[in-house]
Amino acid sequence: MATLCPAILEDKRREEELMEQPDLSLREAAHAGEARLERARAKVAEALRLCHEGLEEAGTAAFHQAAEEFGDLLASDGYPVFWKQYFHHVLARRSRWPKAREFLSELSKRYGEIPVTFAVMGAHAKTFFSDDERIRIWRRAAEAEPGDIKARMAQLRLLIALRRRNELPACADPFFALLRSMPPDSSLMEAWCLLGDAYLIENASDRAELCYRSAHHANAGQVRPLLGLASVALDGGRRLDAVTLLSEALTLKEIPEELRRLATYATECWSTPDRTAALPSVEVAVFTHLHRAEKLRENPHLAAPGLGLIELTLTSLRASLKLGSDIPITVFYDHRPTELNETYRLALENFCAQEGLRLVVNEGFGLRRQWLDAMARAEADLVMIVEHDHEFLTNCPSLEQIRGLFAERPDMQYLRLARRANVVKGYDTILIQSAPERKDGIYRTPGFSNTPHLVRLGFLRDMIGPSIGYGGRDTHNFGAGGVEDTVNSLYRALEARVGLPAAMRLFGTLVYGNPGDKRRVVHLGV
């Protein structure tokens, strides 16, 4: 399984981080004699100069030779200082990784296995080792040094990033015991938060709350523990407590603008009374374009210039969700100046007129700009987003049920009707369901998908709109990436900053049904 949040090793920040650490090791070896140490430094400096001048092969070879020549200069952990510095060097760029692997092979021959010091260095380079290898390395490092907080944090962080739920308790429980044995310290704030995340993912709310409170006690000036505690409150159905905690977090100064915007919006939503007298209003936005027969392997008979796709989509939508005639539906057509497109447009105009649908014709917009146009025109509290190649099945909830859920759950921003069984796959990398969510027949997912869903207009405009305002990913995933890829990148960045449970609560992305349920929508456009 690929790493969910891969690091780009050529990134300048990462390379600088890798190259800073060896200097600390050099100081460890100062007892070896200054003159000899200076000769070693000079040789390494010459090797690095060659690399910086573009002579990569010669510079790396010279670095390796220096590391071997001065292999008797040991760091405090008993390993040669310049071996460590050389390994940092070959790890810093992906193009040097073959040399890094050769070096690890040499170490294995000398020591019978890769020494844990070097294994940990490789594990920091997120894609150098496989995910399973990295987990084993961090576990090995924690066993070698039971009090090594950093190794245990790295192991836990990786398990959460890879969504290895079944492995979390075995990692979290001994880590919890270790932290409980230590006096309060501000440096332990992130460790306590990671533990809180792990326990909350497993619905161990009491243990998670204890961890987040310990984190807050360790460093009360940080937003992360407060967001964790707010997540615990929501899991327990204590929404007003969550609002209080989120409001406290917003008083802190060191909050990035993106996070402040999301937290402010969430605070406003969560503060809504338990259920307003009127259900939220709804409108439907349907996106269509000329879908050629060659792109419909399973349903070529529904292809344009006929209206088979959009007719089936709208007929099944109205029947399965029991849409009344009072629910406004707007069709957004992305036109191209061709004869076939013109035939499709004329047929679409007639169809929309007969069915009482509003038609908006844009030219060459692509899906992302169609979304932006739809959200600019929308007026209802909830917008249902539908692409024209979906058939809604009879196990869908009624629109009335969905409106009721949104009224009762101000923390829900987005509710998807899944087009495959409710299982871990694709954007749905983990499925989490608290007791209140189990009662409501919904669950949380850390992914945003274009698959048919309803979304609050405020969230659509205030959060989704600004994030998709540029077209850097419009060509990804056959055009869908301009929305999905962009929003999910923002999601993953937020997760890295505040943890998975808090990110899922702030985004409020849920799926209708329980884990394991059958699909409620069929994708026709395949």
- Determine the Cα–Cα distance for residues 74 and 152; give it in Å rounded to an integer: 26
Whether the Cβ atoms of residue 218 and residue 188 lie closer than 8 Å to each other: yes
Token pair of 8 as six digits = 């780009």
pTM for this prediction:
0.85
Q: How many helices (H) and strands (E) does the chain have?
A: 23, 10
pLDDT of 23: 42
- Cα atoms in the 13 Å half-sphere on the side-chain side of 17: 10
Q: From CA 130, how far away is CA 151, in angstroms rounded? A: 17
Q: Are the C-beta atoms of 255 and 267 separated by less than 8 Å? A: no
**109 in Cβ contact with 143 (< 8 Å):** no
Q: Of the candidates 212, 393, 368, 495, which has an alpha carbon nearest to the alpha carbon of residue 204? A: 212
Residues in the chain predicted with pLDDT less than 50, given as ranges, are 1-30, 477-478
pLDDT of residue 389: 92
